[in-house]
Structure 1
Amino acid sequence: MSEEIPQVELVETLGLPGLFDLHTHFLPPRVMAKVRAQFDAAGPLIGRTWPLHYRDTDDALVEVLRDLGVRHFSALAYAHRPGMAEFLNDWTAEFADRVPEALRCATFYPEPEAATYVAKRIAAGTELFKVHVQVGAFDVREPLLDEVWGQVADADVPVVIHAGSGPVGTEFTGPDPVAELLQRHPRLPLVIAHAGAPEYEEFLSLAERHEHVGLDTTMAFTDFFDEMGAAYPPALLPRLRDLGLAGRVWLGSDFPNIPYPYTHQLDALERLDLGEDWLRAVLWENGVARLGWSTSGG
């Protein structure tokens, strides 16, 4: 796979060691093949043509990120049925063992054993959890998850949560269930994927009200989202700037499952014109601060 060298000039101009991407996906090969098939077929939870720009082996995709200057990235897997989470967690743990730049990630699903394996994963050093309520088709208020949310809050391990109604809403998506969850667990450290698209204002308001909640930039602000009718409202940008400078907006990309070159996400963030301090925070500093890596690169 060939790929252009990224906006190294931007990174150098900002004086950053590189990029810290909190939202990338690496999956067991058979699972990734099924995910790609859903995108290729514009499946029911995709809702539109989604031509993947990247399609290669894990090793090749890791090299793309390295060439792009991404110094830290995630391997976000998400369970969509009972009995699947620990298979994914074993795989992502092995991936983190062999890829130095990879965060140690895990997932969970509403099932009786969830609290047991989440406790085990936290003890083993998990740095980031991922849940996808749209694909997983579950309510975040599900009683089987109540103990899990408490464990995650007590351990202060962030959870990247896809709860917005994009690209296709379901009965489980939207801000209201998350708002109720945060009433139950106000210290829960949530990273709202895709900035909460398309319910941008509602999720931004949740982040403003809860000091442990923030947003990732995944696919937001890009031309692709604009064309989907999910353009970010310009009136929210001053509030987004303040949240980013407060340490609670993080770079996310959805790599490799994106229909454009990785650098387009960087272009989209730069053209928001929210200032160099905001870009430094979002592209690197907030991830370093939240995950506890050293400022020299971890």
Structure 2
Amino acid sequence: MDDQEAVRVREFAAGLGIPGLVDVHTHFMPARVLDKVWAYFDSAGPLTGTGWPITYRVEEERRLALLREFGVLRFTSMLYPHKPAMAAWLNAWAADFAARTPDCARTATFFPEEGVEAYVREAVEGGARVFKCHVQVGGFDPADPLLDPVWGLLAEAGLPVVTHCGSGPAPGKHTGPGPVGRVLARHPRLRLVVAHLGMPEYGDFLDLAVRYERVCLDTTMAFTDFCERRAPFPVAERSRLADLGDRVVLGSDFPNIPYPYLHQLRALERLDLGDDWLRRVCHDNGLALIG
């Protein structure tokens, strides 16, 4: 880690005239779960298929300190189950984490299983501000009938659901715009946040954002050198990204990124979509989304 990186990140925000950053896609989770996630990345597992060094592999308190040194004003504790009987426990952990970490928006998650509507409702009524859904890791169809009341509840509550539904870094049985498109057809007011801009099906997910006015997209890992080598964003689609500037939000995947945090910001800057677009993406839109 670069000792001067925090200074440069803060300078980036100051240059835009914003008080700091709002990052809707950061990961905090129970230590034994995070250790398993890191071990997966270390092994170049089948979903990554490549070396993936964790840049910020440090203890939780140091990770929190780094975000604050970067001037990140608001962030999330994205966490997700890969099997049944796990989500409610993760939600309890996240509620406790948010209670002791006031700059973290209380985050919750779910899995298609008996009782899912009850524990999602409990999280909503308890103060959750954002949900995470990982279709790829969970290996489930987001249009599973068990989840229909959950999507309806979240649409009614107006809460954002950051959803890894694109087929990057490797396609899954239920990834791509089709399955989540069926969810949106049933719940058109759902505030779905497409993680990673829907990488690599960028255009298809931009289509969904055009069709459904509450769909947003997060920038997580998009445009970085690491991802442009594998799944480049089509240059022809940049104008549509600019047009949707009020529904694009900053995401980073901190701490599980194979490059410095600053690189994500520089990657957005070099799109040359203007300071107003950057201000909205890096601060205004995220603040409106997660408070």
Percent identity (aligned): 55
Alpha-carbon separation, structure 1, partners of 2:182 and 2:109: 21
Partner of 2:112: 110
Deviations 1:114-165 (A, max 9, x none): 0000011000110000010110000011011011010000001100000000
RMSD, matched Cα: 1.0
Kindly state the Cα deviation for residue 12 of structure 1 after the two structures are TM-superposed: 1.0
Residue 242 of structure 1 aligns with an amino acid whose one-letter code is D
Give the aligned partner of residue 122 of structure 2: 120
* Match runs of 1:28-39 below 5 Å: 28-39=30-41
The CA distance in 2 between the partners of 1:172 and 1:49, in whole Å, is 25
Give 4+ residue runs of structure 1 displaced > 4 Å after superposition. none
The equivalent of 1:231 in structure 2 is 232
Give 1:296's aligned residue.
none
- Runs (5+) with no aligned partner, structure 2: none
In structure 1, distance between residues paired with 2:2 and 2:258: 15
Q: Deviations over 1:198-257 (max 9, x none)?
A: 0000001101110110100000000000122x111111111101101xx21000000000
Amino acid at match of 2:44: A
Q: Distance in 2 between matches of 1:79 and 1:144?
A: 16
TM superposition score normalised by structure 1: 0.95
Q: 1:205 aligns with which of 202, 207, 220?
A: 207
| Residues 46-70 of structure 1: per-residue CA shift (max 9 Å, x gap) | 2211111110111100011111111
**CA distance in 2 between partners of 1:178 and 1:94 (Å):** 30
Structure 2: distance between partners of 1:33 and 1:258: 15
> Within 5 Å, which residues of 2 pair with 1:174-193?
174-193=176-195
Match of 2:140 in 1: 138
> Partner amino acid for 2:264?
Q
Distance (whole Å) between structure 2 residues aligned to residue 8 and residue 122 of structure 1: 33
The superposition leaves residues 247-288 of structure 1 with CA deviations (integer Å, 9 ceiling, x where unpaired) of 210000000000000000000000000001000000000011
Deviation, structure 1 residue 9: 2.0
Equivalent residue, structure 2, for 1:248: 247
- CA drift of 1:2 comes to 5.8
Deviations 1:157-191 (A, max 9, x none): 10000000000101111101111111111111100
Q: Distance in 2 between matches of 1:41 and 1:271?
A: 32
In structure 1, give the amino acid aligned to 2:244: L
**What SS does the corresponding residue of 2:200 show, helix, strand or coil?**
coil
CA displacement, residues 5-25 of structure 1 (integer Å, 9 cap, x when unaligned): 233222112110100000000
What residue ranges of structure 1 are gaps of 5+ in the alignment? 294-298
Q: Show the counterpart of 1:100.
A: 102
Residue of structure 1 equivalent to 2:276: 277
- Within a 5 Å distance, the mapping from 1:12-23 to structure 2 comes to 12-23=14-25
Q: Per-residue deviation at 1:290?
A: 2.1
Q: What residue identity is the alignment partner of 1:233?
A: P
Question: What is the distance in 1 between the residues matched to 2:289 and 2:139?
Answer: 28
Give the paired residue count: 289
SS of equivalent residue, structure 1 residue 289: helix
Matched, 1:265 2:259: no
In structure 2, what is the equivalent of residue 217 of structure 1? Answer: 219
- 2:83 is the counterpart of 1:84: no
